[in-house]
Amino acid sequence: MTIPSTKRDEVHWGTSPALDNITVENHILAHTFHSIKINELAPGRQYHYSVVSDGTESPSYRFCTAFPSNEAIRFVIYGDSRGGWDNWQSALQVAQAIEQDTPMFVLHTGDLVDNGRKPCDWVDFFSASPFTHNSTFYPVLGNHEQSSALYFYYFSLPFIECWYSFDNGPVHFIGLNSNPRYAYRFTQYFWLLWDLWTHDKPFTIVFFHHPLYSSGNHGNTTLLQKIWAPVFEHSDVDIVFNGHEHSYERSYVNNVTYIVTGGGGAPLYNVGHSPWTIYSEKTYHYCLIMVDSSVLTFQAKKPDGFTFDLFTLTK
């Protein structure tokens, strides 16, 4: 598959649809992957933007910058969108429902595509994910990404990108790499300890691909459970989100809530029920979360808008 290159690429942006500012990509030779850094953005603001490549302009879209700790946020998390099996129809239904909920940003627990080394899979993913135009996107690596260079070309993530953290509103978010090549490295483990120790947000959410607790086809990630679960328990982590199982399961273990959210479009798996399970269901879905300085409200929603699981956490 040949992707045409462009010679001049711009982002037109501003706080109104007038798009009063223009930032031009600084490159000399034509190429196919593009990145433009916009400076002087204010926190907690909505911006409008369009992309212009060689004179061809996209529609106008929007994004929000990170909000201060005292402001509420609204975001979505889901996983396992890889949809080659049904030509991305199930993934598109989930993504369109996410778009209707207009989240400020979206987290993904991995396995975005069937084969991360195939450019056409990434084209299919973005074509079936219309919400990405208007929501900042934070994925983590699943096993199907295969740590492909394409993943790192398409996404510009914080820190070293394989794992990272960021703050938005009253929440500290930590994205980890649970693939065996990286999961057991001391560098990630000690970085995690330091990151949890040094942040001061009211809520902490961690997300990665392989579930520590699961009643589905794959079951628990037992060794990682022994390494990471005690860290989460002793660091006041509120929720851990995972994928890998193509189903939904909410569990509660030692004061930590664990959510398996793998219903983003891949073929669904059967799910069981274990002593730690509060709710489980074989269904396509995504999770919508609203957080202010003292209350986190969680909804698990099906593509038709039906909320099938709901809970709140308070500080």
**What phi and psi, each to the nearest 5 degrees, are found at residue 98?**
-60, -45
Q: What digits encode the pLDDT tens for the residues 34-76?
A: 889 998 899 999 999 999 998 899 999 999 999 999 999 999 9
Beta bridge partners of 6: 31
Q: Is 81 left (phi over 0), alpha (psi -120 to 50) or beta?
A: alpha
Range of weakest confidence among 26-40, 61-75, 204-218? 26-40
The pTM (predicted TM-score) of the whole model is 0.96
Q: Residues 155, 139: contact at Cβ < 8 Å?
A: yes
Q: What digits encode the pLDDT tens for the residues 135-190?
A: 999 999 999 999 999 999 999 999 999 999 999 999 999 999 999 999 999 999 99
Model pLDDT, residue 234: 97
Residue 2 CA: distances (Å) to CA of 53, 56, 123: 17, 19, 12
Q: Looking at the chain, how many residues does it have?
A: 315
Closest of 217, 218, 247, 240 to residue 107, by C-alpha: 240
**What are the structural domains of the chain?**
9-64 (no CATH), 73-314 (3.60.21.10)
Model pLDDT, residue 28: 56
